[in-house]
Amino acid sequence: MIRPGRDEDAEGFIRLIGDCWAEFPNCILDVDGEAPELRALASYFARAGGALWAAEREDGVVGMVGTRPLNSDQAYEICRMYVAAPERGTGLAQRLLDKAEAHARAAGAQRLVLWTDTRFDAAHRFYEKRGYLRQGAIRILDDISKSLEFRYAKPAAGLVVEALDAAAAASAERRLSEILVACVDAGTSVSFLRPLAPEVARGVWKKVAADVAANRQVLLVAWLDGELVGTVQLNLDTPQNQPHRAALAKLLVDPAARRRGVARALMRRAEQAAQRLRRRLLVSEIQADEPGEALYRSLGWREAGRIPGFALDETGAARAAVILWKEV
């Protein structure tokens, strides 16, 4: 059962957090010295204008999460998110995070932020699957555990497109790999044949993250109501005599999120990014007669020509490519 947290849950909360921290070397919970608010955590969150939830079974508290408003940009922080080891993989973590996110959105949050210890690899994977990406510098805590923390964030609601820096691009690899595999499985032609192995997809995004770090690419991603659902790239690695040009590549939208304006929003933001970088000529190569071709044309892209038999599909049939361009 998930219910509002109470101050009387202090013993259960402290035991749960202590057990989770004990899974990692030199990760020590010093309640009275560093986290006295755990003695009355519900009151602590109430004073901050936030909320707290507890998940319990007959033998006590097995999960918890809280959220509270931050002082800038209509952001809410997700915090004190812990699930007992036997409950992991049961969907409890998803349900707890759903509670906190829904509360923050109902309170008007435009952005969701959380901090997680650099040692908590499983938590990183979970948050990244939920659309959170690393942002900013690592936070150093002057605590007994010598903690270092990553900052993760994402838009809370609506359709939002953002460019990623190198750290965010690296933390997006898992979710973007899922999108790439789903798109290939759905028949999207992006240089791969189905079935696409997940490890091959991860390799693609590792290279993209390295290119972002080297300023060879701009990586844009789209969130829809907090879920990361699409991406597109601007390739800036052009010859010396073509500094005014960029190539648009890998426009991908999760099949479950299509026909909701995601691809169009990605395209428009890519064109805006090109303008800011003074890349006034955009080019793109896509498989001819795919649905995406109509989107390009509706946004003013023009055809430069077609190449018959440019690529093979999984049946071995040759497919034509169309070369498109646009001045921005």
Q: Residue 65: is it exposed, middle or buried by C-beta count within 10 angstroms (0-12/13-18/19+)?
A: buried
**pLDDT of residue 280 exceeding 90:** yes
Closest CA to 54 of 76, 82, 26: 82
**pLDDT of residue 144 exceeding 80:** yes
- Residues above pLDDT 70, as percent of the chain: 100
pLDDT in tens, 235-274: 999 999 999 999 999 999 999 999 999 999 999 999 999 9
User: Looking at this protein, which amino acid is placed at residue 84?
Assistant: A
Which pLDDT belongs to residue 32? 96
CA neighbours closer than 13 Å in the CB half-sphere of residue 61: 27
Which pLDDT belongs to residue 64? 98
Which pLDDT belongs to residue 290? 84
Average pLDDT, the chain: 96
pLDDT in tens, 44-86: 999 999 999 999 999 899 999 999 999 877 999 999 999 999 9
Alpha-carbon distance values, 129 to 71, 152, 179, 245 (Å): 27, 12, 11, 34
Average pLDDT over residues 276-293: 93
Which pLDDT belongs to residue 189? 81
pLDDT in tens, 30-43: 999 999 999 999 99
- Give the SS3 label for residue 2: strand
Q: Which residues have a Cβ under 8 Å from the Cβ of 89 and sit 6 or more positions away?
A: none
- Residues above pLDDT 90, as percent of the chain: 94
Residue 98 tokens, joined: 């759903």
Average pLDDT over residues 192-220: 96
Distance in angstroms (rounded) separating the CA atoms of residues 62 and 67: 18
Q: What is the pTM of this model?
A: 0.94
For helices 198-213 and 173-185, angle between their N-to-C axes, nearest 10 degrees: 130
